[in-house]
Chains A and B, each alone.
Chain A
Amino acid sequence: MKEKTDKRYAMVVDTRLCVACKACVLACKAENRVPYGFNRDWLVEVTTGRFPDLALENRSERCNHCSNPPCVHACPTGASHVNEGGAVLVTHHKCTGCKACIAACPYGARYVHPDGYVDKCTFCLHRVRDGREPACVEICPTGTLHFGDLSDPDSDVSILLRTRKYKVLHPETGCEPNVYFLE
């Protein structure tokens, strides 16, 4: 069910600290019992330039919990919906597996669970509601990942976005992502 709150959950990823150890990926798989062969979060390592002048960017990516989520718009049953703090979730027992949402997501953030429904990152709302951080954030050994509420100006994520340069992925699509990458 959609819960009305004024919170705006977001994640901030400090690409300068990430060493691409993939602990976030494994923590998520363990926490959310993500089946073998599937991922709710993943690492993208982008190398640009020409040797020896190279630049490397490591990005821990996941669903962007977009403020204008095309996956939710595309869903015919209401299974894909906006939940607490703007987190985009899938209600498994409403999902027909039509895959309109997978096709609609510009970020490849969704997959079909072997049980037939579509699954994705939940921002670990089950942990967040207990006052804990998402599993990926908690395990990150370098402090790359930050989770918090953008509507609170004193939150970690708000301060980082005020004080550092950042980008979001494919802003041209107009989805208004809420996973920010510090540069």
Chain B
Amino acid sequence: MNESLIEVVQGRNNPMIDPSLHIWGWEIPVYLFLGGVVAGMLVLSAALALRDRDGPRSKALQTAPLLALGLLSVGMAALFLDLEHKAYVWRFYLAFKAASPMSWGSWILLLVYPAGIMMGFGMLDSDRRAALLDSRFVRGLHLRSLVMCILGRADAARRGALWAGIIAGSALGLYTGILLGTMVSMPLWNTAVLGPLFLTSGVSTGAAVLLLLPLSTGERHVVARWDMAAIFVEIVLIVVMLIGFATGGHASHVAFSQLVDGPSASAFWALVVVAGLAAPFTLEAIEVRRSLKPLALTPILVLIGGLSLRWILVIAGQASSWANIP
């Protein structure tokens, strides 16, 4: 076979497909990254609140769920920018297609907002509530009675709201991976590991955003430990994914070679594996063991790693397409 040559002349010339695929540009990795961050923030802040239900909470933790919803809106704006037929965006909500992860995602996004608002409002203490009711936004739009009503509901179902936050957050994190994982067209995406991988990476990046906020020492300690666990699971999942690709059939080998000698391979190892996983894991371990003052660098590395993971998988995944295999 190495004696013979193969030459393919491709007469098709459709933008986004040829000569190389770039169906999804920067908007999708940014959205997938923010979706993961929001998933992580909701799951972790709800878990912290469940862990210590009546204990004092830092201001930062109380407002984390609402901050997460703000970040989600930025992500959804990126998603909207990617749509080619923007005037028809409402069509997402006239159908539910059980076989389409994109359809699941659009409905999950819609559920994350009420879940986040309910759990977020329930976590506010009386000072924050007074500040919220007094804010220009609430007063200007005459939302006082609505906010009071939501606060009342949130208090009545505080535990339920926290669980709703955990479920909606997990669904969000998981679906961002499943969206790519179900595509048979792109061997690098087509692995069941991608769902759990994106969810754990989401938990870790969500923890990183929390660690950049002024949490209390106790909260910081717990979040840092959970982050280390998430990074560890992520490393295991990446190893499992690589073993799967290395030992699979032709398509898996195409995927594997994207990560070991493709154009994005060095970025994958440098930014995702070393800078995004190994380095922050080591730094966090040292910080926890020696009780050192936490560095802002550690969560920043986690965020760089999380964004790079999505970015590189979106780009390299499209390069692994069957459409490029003669």
Residues of A near any B CB (own CB < 8 A): 20, 22, 25, 37-39, 42-50, 61, 70, 73-79, 93-100, 102-108, 110-112, 115-118, 170, 172-175
Contacts and interface: CB of A to CB of B under 8 A. Distances in A.
Contacts of B102: 74-76, 98, 100
A64 to B, nearest CB: 12
B185 A106 contact: yes
Contacts of B97: 73, 75-78
11 contacts: A42-B12, A74-B102, A76-B105, A97-B86, A98-B102, A99-B24, A100-B100, A103-B318, A108-B321, A112-B16, A117-B85
Interface in B2-17: 3-17
Interface in B134-154: none
B106 interface: yes
B26 interface: no
Contact of B99 (A61, A73, A103): A73
A17 to B, nearest CB: 17
Contact of B10 (A42, A50, A100, A105): A42
A38 B17 CA distance: 10
B5 A97 contact: no
Interface of B: 3-18, 21, 23-24, 82-89, 91-92, 94-95, 97, 99-103, 105-106, 179, 182-186, 249-251, 318, 321-323, 325-326
Contacts of A77: 91-92, 94-95, 97, 103
A111 B11 contact: no
Contacts, number: 171
For B7, B82, B84, the residue with the greatest tally of chain A CB atoms inside 10 Å of its CB is B84
Given A46-B326, A74-B101, A103-B185, A25 B88 contact: no
For B91, B106, B323, the residue with the greatest tally of chain A CB atoms inside 10 Å of its CB is B91
Given A106-B321, A108-B14, A108-B321, A96 B83 contact: yes
Contacts of B11: 20, 22, 25, 39, 42-45
Nearest to B93: A77
A37 to B, nearest CB: 7
Given A38-B15, A97-B86, 8 more contacts: A48-B4, A50-B3, A70-B183, A73-B97, A77-B97, A108-B17, A117-B85, A173-B322
Contacts of A37: 13, 15
Nearest to A47: B7
A144 B183 CA distance: 32
Q: A-B pairs with the 4 shortest C-beta distances?
A: A97-B84, A42-B12, A97-B85, A108-B323
A115 to B, nearest CB: 8
B216 to A, nearest CB: 42
